[in-house]
Amino acid sequence: MRTIKLIVIHCSDTESGKDYSVEDITSWHKQRGFRTIGYHFLIHPDGEIDGAKQGCRSIPEIGAHVRGYNRASIGICYIGGLLYSEPADTRTPAQIDALRCLIKSLESIYPEIEIVGHRDLSVDLNGDGVIQKQEWMKECPSFDVKTEL
The residue ranges that bind Zn ion (CB under 5 A) are: 10, 118, 140
Residue 45 or 63 having the CB closest to Zn ion: 63
* CA gap 114, 116 in Å, rounded: 7
Q: Whole-number minimum distance, CB 101 to Zn ion, in Å?
A: 21
Least gap, CB of 33 to Zn ion (angstroms)? 16
CB closer to Zn ion, 98 vs 128:
98
Least distance CB 47 / Zn ion (angstroms): 20
- Of 45 and 65, CB closest to Zn ion: 65
We find the least distance from the C-beta atom of residue 25 to Zn ion, in angstroms, to be 12
Sheet holding 86-87, edge to edge: 14-15, 81-83, 86-87
Q: Based on CB atoms, which residue is closest to Zn ion, 57 or 118?
A: 118
Strand ranges (E), the chain = 6-11, 14-15, 41-43, 49-50, 73-78, 81-83, 86-87, 114-117
Alpha-carbon span 54 to 33, nearest angstrom = 21
